[in-house]
């Protein structure tokens, strides 16, 4: 099947089915590119037709928003701009603050760093358990009324939280990790998005590089955020790389790369899904975007579905601390640290 290249809807916005997640240009994954190379990649993405760019206040503790601000805003009319609040940094440490005052302050900082007076889509990056979701959404609703943001999104939240938020103000998008090896969204929130007319934005659609073939048996650098994720640690990593070998065989038989097969699988799941892979390589970006032109056999997508059952991947998705900061559903029997 060919994944329709026609635009998909995210709330009031119409975007290509593949956007760009900008996190790893400034944050979390290693190696990190030179700023000039990051700028070139962003400009290349625009030239190749990418029209949806995703950043956050957390990424590089503001550095990623500054990167987009100095690089892309001379072509502001060519893309939808998304950023996030609530999960941020204080003194170089991650922290949650979903209070209205914190959201308003973070938004002002984001507008300044991005060099804009309006952000198209602004997410609550995480649910702050100490603040009712209604209060956090209410702060963003006021920002919509003030013209500072165009639409509201949620990230890594459950179907129940989505419904509560949507009752306060229409939610345009739910962003959650989704790939063949992370299928929690299928428990409830994907169906809730369809029922409510909410777009679904899939981050890490290449399984944090595993299903792009970029992670080997030695794992990742100790300073890379993935190093603390159980799936990238022994004994889980060897098992998960074995799944990736089998996945590569399916991709080879389908006449595509591993990354393209993973993206095609994600996009085939629902017509309201937009994927935002991240990369520091223009060649890999071009490879990802070419997915939209390929004819992927339906039996290959079915083989992926059969290979990556909920129980197939070894190890929890997150370590105990980060797991406590997400509100997504878990599946019966899911390992949690």
Please, what sign has the CA dihedral across residues 220, 222, 228, 234?
positive
Instruction: State the Cα–Cα distance between residues 266 and 243, nearest whole angstrom.
Output: 17
| 243 to 134, 135, 238, 307, 311: CA distances (angstroms) | 41, 43, 9, 8, 12
Instruction: State the Cα–Cα distance between residues 69 and 2, nearest whole angstrom.
Output: 35
Q: Nearest Cα to 48, choosing from 222, 263, 283?
A: 283
Instruction: State the Cα–Cα distance between residues 131 and 119, nearest whole angstrom.
Output: 23
User: Following DSSP, what letter does each residue of 69-111 receive, concatenated?
Assistant: HHHHGGGGGGSEEEEEESEEEETTEEEE--SHHHHHHHHHHHH
Angle among Cα 19, 69, 18 to the nearest 5 degrees reads 0
Please state, as a whole number, how many other Cβ atoms lie within 10 Å of the Cβ of residue 80: 22
Cβ atoms of residues 169 and 152 within 8 Å: yes
On the question of a cis peptide bond just before residue 253, with omega within 30 degrees of 0, the verdict is no
Angle among Cα 274, 105, 92 to the nearest 5 degrees reads 80
Catalytic residue among 59, 123, 178, 318: 59
CB contact set of 93 (below 8 Å; sequence gap of 6+): none
Could you confirm whether 178 is annotated as catalytic?
no
Q: Nearest Cα to 335, choosing from 326, 270, 320, 325?
A: 320
How would you classify the pairing of strands 20-21 and 13-15? Answer: unpaired
40, two tokens: 């070139």
Q: Which residues are catalytic?
A: 59
């Amino acid at each position: 099947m060919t994944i329709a290249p026609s635009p998909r809807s995210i709330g009031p916005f119409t975007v290509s089915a593949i956007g760009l997640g900008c996190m790893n240009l400034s944050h979390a994954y290693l190696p990190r590119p030179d700023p000039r190379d990051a700028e070139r990649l962003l400009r290349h993405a625009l030239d190749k037709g990418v029209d949806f760019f995703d950043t956050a206040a957390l990424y590089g503790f503001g550095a990623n928003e500054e990167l987009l601000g100095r690089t892309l805003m001379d072509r502001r009319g060519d893309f939808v701009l998304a950023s996030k609040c609530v999960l941020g940094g204080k003194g170089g440490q991650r922290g949650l603050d979903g209070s209205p005052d914190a959201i308003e302050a973070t938004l002002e900082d984001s507008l300044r760093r991005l060099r804009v007076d309006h952000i198209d889509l602004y997410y609550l990056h995480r649910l702050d358990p100490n603040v009712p979701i209604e209060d956090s959404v209410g702060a963003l609703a006021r920002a919509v009324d003030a013209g500072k943001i165009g639409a509201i999104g949620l990230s890594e939240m459950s179907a129940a939280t989505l419904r509560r938020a949507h009752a306060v103000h229409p939610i345009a998008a739910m962003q959650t990790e989704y790939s063949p090896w992370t299928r929690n969204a299928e428990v409830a929130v994907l169906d809730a998005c369809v029922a409510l007319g909410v777009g679904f934005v899939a981050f890490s659609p290449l399984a944090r590089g595993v299903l792009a073939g970029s992670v080997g048996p030695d794992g990742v650098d100790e300073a890379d955020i993935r190093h603390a994720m159980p799936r990238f640690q022994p004994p889980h990593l060897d098992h998960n790389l074995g799944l990736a070998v089998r996945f590569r065989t399916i991709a080879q038989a389908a006449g595509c790369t591993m990354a393209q097969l993973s993206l095609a699988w994600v996009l085939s799941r629902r017509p309201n899904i937009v994927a935002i892979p991240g990369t520091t390589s223009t060649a890999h970006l071009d490879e990802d975007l070419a997915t939209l032109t390929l004819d992927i056999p339906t039996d290959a997508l079915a083989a992926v579905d059969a290979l990556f059952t909920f129980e197939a991947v070894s190890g929890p998705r997150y370590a105990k601390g980060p797991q406590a900061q997400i509100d997504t559903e878990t599946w019966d029997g899911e390992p949690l640290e």
